[in-house]
Structure 1
Amino acid sequence: MTDVSDPKTARELKGGTGLRRILNATGYSMQGFRAAFRTEPAFRQLVLLNAVLLPIALWVDVSPVERALLLLTPLLSLTIELINSSIEHVVDRISLELHPLSKSAKDMGSAAQFMGLVLIVVCWTTILL
């Protein structure tokens, strides 16, 4: 077993330093986006929602702050979905057995996504109506 408390080992596991680390991290992020898009229907639905809402946010005549809110809330919901999906994957990796803590973790991730969607509705209706 690898001792991750050793700073040298931890650096090696993280994939380098400086520009190499940034490039590696970018590659890992792109792999995460591809995995979410490939395996998570909810993520694909949010990508579609963003494809509709983001151009509208750029088109409507609103203040810069309002435009920022119209752009950020759908993107925030995508971010929340990535975190929610990662929680679900980790829970499933640990065990597929039904357990109250596993259910709570998944339910809380779902609740976070629900709040992200509520933020979209509240911001968009407040600004556009």
Structure 2
Amino acid sequence: MKKGKLLKSFQYAFLGIAFCLRSERNMQIHAAATVVVLLMGTYVRVTKMEWLVLLLTIGGVWSLEMVNTALEKTVDLITAERHPFAKIAKDAAAGAVLVFSCIAVAIGLVIFIPYLW
């Protein structure tokens, strides 16, 4: 891969992240939660292993939210009319984000409660 193409691919990726942060309410919520977690982790001085778990969890939530957005936009592009399969695709993708977000909250509680207790 040529250097220019590689740089262009990074540019497109950053544009995708920026789009999600600007236009998706749930992504903005995840970003705010990320700031809170990073500040709390710094404040209570979580261990290196806890940082790794927190960062992987944050990355997972952000990634799933962006995949959800991509899927929703693709479905909207394919059909403007309501279709049961389109609804299932959108609902399943949103459900995946919800499941991982609930796990992320549980992970956060397991890590932070002992420090705050």
| Count of aligned residue pairs for this structure pair | 113
% identity of equivalent residues: 27
Partner residue in 2 for 1:38: 22
SS in structure 2 at match of 1:56: helix
* Letter paired with 2:69: S
Partner residue in 1 for 2:87: 103
The structure whose residues are more often helix, as a share, is 2
Partner residue in 1 for 2:51: 67
- Deviation, 1:78, is 1.1
CA RMSD of aligned residues (A): 1.5
SS in structure 1 at match of 2:82: coil
Deviation per CA, 1:50-75: give whole Å up to 9, x if none.
11112222332333212211222123
- Are residues 31 and 40 of structure 1, via their aligned partners in 2, closer, same or farther at CA, if it must alter by over 3 Å? same
Cα separation, 1, equivalents of 2:3 and 2:55: 29
- Greater Rg over alpha carbons, structure: 1
Task: Please say if residues 87 and 109 of structure 1, whose CA atoms lie closer than 8 Å, have aligned partners that are also in contact.
Answer: yes
Query: Unpaired segments of 5 or more residues in structure 1?
Result: 1-16
* Letter paired with 1:106: K
Deviation per CA, 1:25-81: give whole Å up to 9, x if none.
111011111211222111111111111112222332333212211222123211110
SS in structure 2 at match of 1:78: helix
TM-score by length of 2: 0.86
Cα separation, 1, equivalents of 2:82 and 2:58: 32
Structure 1 residue 112 and structure 2 residue 104: aligned?
A: no
* Bigger relative contact order, structure 1 or 2 (CA pairs below 8 A, ≥6 apart): 2
Deviation per CA, 1:87-118: give whole Å up to 9, x if none.
00000000121111101110111111101211
